[in-house]
A and B are shown apart, each in its own frame.
Chain A
Amino acid sequence: DTGVSQNPRHKITKRGQNVTFRCDPISEHNRLYWYRQTLGQGPEFLTYFQNEAQLEKSRLLSDRFSAERPKGSFSTLEIQRTEQGDSAMYLCASSPFLGQAATGELFFGEGSRLTVL
């Protein structure tokens, strides 16, 4: 399977616990994105990497959220001290680097669903 892989697919946790999600992008893709989606809404941008550099973060991203992409390969998204409002689907997407081209053709994974009790 050469698509974007996300793990775990489902996570149930208690309020106050830390959780970590992993994303393995398509191997030749330089760009990696994290989005969050709640029921009935479109995906909301969280952060973006080009190779290992985190180039953009949403202003809405709480300091409880941190993302890394060591060596420009897989990425992790950690949420510390989870709150019930963090319950959502966390989507990872990747795309190839095409210079300055406006490639909005993102390849999404199937997401990691977080439920905070």
Chain B
Amino acid sequence: EDQVTQSPEALRLQEGESSSLNCSYTVSGLRGLFWYRQDPGKGPEFLFTLYSAGEEKEKERLKATLTKKESFLHITAPKPEDSATYLCAAMDTGRRALTFGSGTRLQVQP
């Protein structure tokens, strides 16, 4: 069964304090690994797709990387507006459904 585990569950950073979020996944074959951002009371918003180990994607202060068993979301010099829940999801080959992790709740204090 597909499984996605995220850590830490919650993370509190000071503005400008860089850190990384972890996502470990177990699927029979990885079709894609996806990162989403979710603000309270809203639906998730797509951030990145990663397809193969070694791939990296960047967007503003965020950079996502992928290995054969894990993905990391690196946040460089975060700002308070980066506060949100970050969700990781995996898509298994032969399926179209995403399996989501429980998310990391990030709070960036000014």
Contacts and interface: CB of A to CB of B under 8 A. Distances in A.
B59 interface: no
Contacts of B32: 102, 104
Contacts, number: 64
Please tell me the size bucket of the interface on B. 20 to 34
Main secondary structure of the interface of B (DSSP, over half): strand
Interface string B83-100: 000010101000111111
A65 interface: no
Interface stretch (B14-22, B40-48, B65-73): B40-48
Please tell me the size bucket of the interface on A. 20 to 34
Contacts of A107: 46
B34 interface: yes
Interface of B: 4, 6, 31-32, 34, 41-46, 49, 51, 87, 89, 91, 95-103
Interface of A: 4, 31, 33, 35, 40-45, 48, 50, 55-56, 58, 91, 93, 102-111
17 contacts: A33-B97, A42-B4, A42-B89, A45-B97, A56-B95, A56-B96, A56-B97, A91-B43, A103-B49, A104-B89, A106-B44, A106-B46, A106-B98, A108-B44, A110-B41, A110-B42, A110-B43
